[in-house]
Amino acid sequence: MPDTVQQNGHGEGAYNYAYLDEQTKRMIRRAILKAVAVPGYQVPFGGREMPLPYGWGTGGIQVTAAIIGRDDTLKVIDQGADDTTNAVSIRRFFARVAGVATTTRTEEATIIQTRHRVPETSLKDGQILVFQVPIPEPLRMLEPRETETRTLHALCEYGVMQVSLYESIARHGRIAKTYNYPVLVNGRYIMSPSPIPKFDNPKLDRNPALQLYGAGREKRIYAVPPYTSVKSLDFEDHPFEIERWTECCALCGSTESFLDEMIVDDTGKRRFICSDTDYCQERQDGQRR
């Protein structure tokens, strides 16, 4: 076969462009197409050992490595921020092995790899949002066995999830699940949106961007195509709600973004700022102009 290892010309000559060999990329690409064709279904894939630890974004990294090219502009966020250590580390990895342009601006990015957040800025047609997923199976904490959960998905038998949410209401008077809040995709598969706060769930619904989810350790890829219905599970008498803060961002004054709480002194004084650093910065820049 004529393709195999190619020099990438970025000083990492022993490795192929974007780290993965071409055969692996093809395997992942085939899995991605299946994932897009069956929204919310977890496609098993031959996940590879990546040079970053399992649980640190290897699924997202493999998905990104399989789709990224020289024309792309990559943004990487962790907890909404471009400057968290793991985001920096992953961005460095791709700058090194794929020689791509990177950005912190949501609107400039063609691929956004994220852990635990969906950007506040609306995404556009053509952008791809790659989620890092620790546990792809939304039913896992209710049923640890893969053989069982796979059957439940096949039968569309989601009573166990409904019961668990209802128990939460019985106990707390509300659904106390706050992140990794389960969603129903295209009316068929219950899906883990990854551990994003439920605040972000509404952004998944009918989003113009393509959402790809990669779980490296668990070796699963799933997807939500653009404009696809993503419904957070709820009950008629207990509709889905997102978090609200009484505070606003201390830096940009936003009352609409997800806020990080910081303890700023020994007396426990608190300050709230936007979790999405790009969104916050853009707003601050706008106010200065």
Partner 1 sequence: MYVAVKGGETAIAHALELLADRRRGSRDVPELTLDQIDQQLAQSVDRVMTEGSCYDRQLAALAIKQARGDLIEAIFLLRAYRTTLPRFGHSEPIDTSRMSAERRISSTFKDVPGGQVLGPTFDYTHRLLDFSLMANGERPTAPTAPIDAAQIFPRVGDILEREGMLEPPPPADAGVSTQDITRDPLTLPASRPVRLQALARGDEGFLLALGYSTQRGYGNNHPFVGEIRFGAVPVSFVPEELGFPIEIAEIDVTECDMVNQFAGSHDVPPQFTRGYGLAFGHAERKAMAMALVDRALRAEELSEAVISPAQDEEFVLAHSDNVEASGFVQHLKLPHYVDFQSELVVVRALRAEVEARQQQAALDQAAE
Partner 2 sequence: MSDIALGLADPAHDSQRLFRTLLDAFAHPGRIVSLTEGLAGVGSLSPAATAFLLMLVDRDTPLWFSPDLDSPIVRDFVRFHTGAPLVAREVDAQFAFLTLRRAPLLDGFAIGTDLYPDRSATLVIEVPSLVGGPPLTLRGPGIEHQACVGIAGLPASFVAEWSAHRALFPCGVDLVFVAGTELMALPRSIAVES
Nearest alpha-carbon partner for 189 in 137, 239, 135: 137
Selected binder of partner 1 within 86, 102, 121, 281 (CB under 8 A): 86
Dist. CA 38–CA 41, nearest whole Å: 6
- Set 9, 268, 280, 286: catalytic member: 280
- In whole angstroms, how close is the CB of 172 to partner 2 at the nearest point? 34
- Contact of residue 285 among partner 1, partner 2, none (CB under 5-8 Å per partner type): none
Give the H/E segment covering residue 213: strand 210-215
Q: Is 43 in the site for partner 2 (CB under 8 A)?
A: yes
By CB under 8 A, tell whether 122 contacts partner 2. no
Instruction: Please report, as residue ranges, which positions from 185 to 204 form the binding site for partner 2 (by CB under 8 A).
Output: 186, 188-189
**Residue 11 Cβ vs partner 2, minimum distance, rounded to whole Å:** 16
Q: Measured from the CB atom, is 149 or 257 closer to partner 2?
A: 149
170 makes contact with partner 1 (CB under 8 A)? no
Rounded alpha-carbon distances, angstroms, from residue 239 to 27, 53, 233, 236, 272: 40, 38, 8, 6, 27
Judging by beta carbons within 10 Å of its beta carbon (0-12, 13-18, 19+), is residue 248 exposed, middle or buried?
middle
204: helix, coil or strand? Answer: helix
Contact between 2 and partner 2 (CB under 8 A)?
A: yes
Collapsing DSSP to helix, strand or coil, 286 comes out as helix
19 forms part of the interface with partner 1 (CB under 8 A): yes
- Identify the CA nearest to 48 among candidates 64, 59, 56, 57: 59
What residues have CB less than 8 Å from 159, skipping those under 6 apart? Answer: none
Contacting residue, 219, 257, 274, 282, with partner 1 by CB under 8 A: 219
**Cα separations in angstroms, 226 against 67, 111, 128, 203, 206:** 17, 14, 9, 12, 6
* Residue 275 binding: pick among partner 1, partner 2, none (C-beta 5-8 Å cut-off by kind): partner 1
Pick between residue 5 and residue 262 the one whose CB is nearest to partner 2.
5
The binder of 261, among partner 2, partner 1, none, by C-beta within 5 to 8 A per type, is partner 1
Q: Residues 134, 138, 182, 193: which binds partner 1 (CB under 8 A)?
A: 134
Amino acid identity at 287? Q
156 is catalytic: no
Is 252 annotated in the active site? yes
Report how far Cα 232 is from the mean position of its chain's Cα atoms. Answer: 16
Q: What are the distances in angstroms from CA 27 to CA 64, 125, 154, 214, 238? A: 13, 25, 24, 14, 42
Extract the tokens encoding 234: 């709820």
Which residues 6+ apart lie within 8 Å of 200 measured at CB? 117, 118, 193, 258
Q: How many residues bind partner 2 (CB under 8 A)?
A: 50
Return the residue of 54, 72, 143, 169 that touches partner 1, per CB under 8 A.
54
The yes or no reply on residue 139 touching partner 2 (CB under 8 A) is no
**Smallest distance, partner 1 to C-beta of residue 134, A:** 7
Is 22 or 234 the residue whose CB approaches partner 2 more closely? 22
Binding residues (CB under 8 A) for partner 1: these are 4-5, 14-16, 19-21, 23-24, 27, 44-51, 53-56, 58, 78-81, 83-86, 88-89, 92, 115-117, 134, 145-147, 172-174, 176, 178-180, 195-199, 217, 219-220, 243-245, 258-262, 264, 271, 275
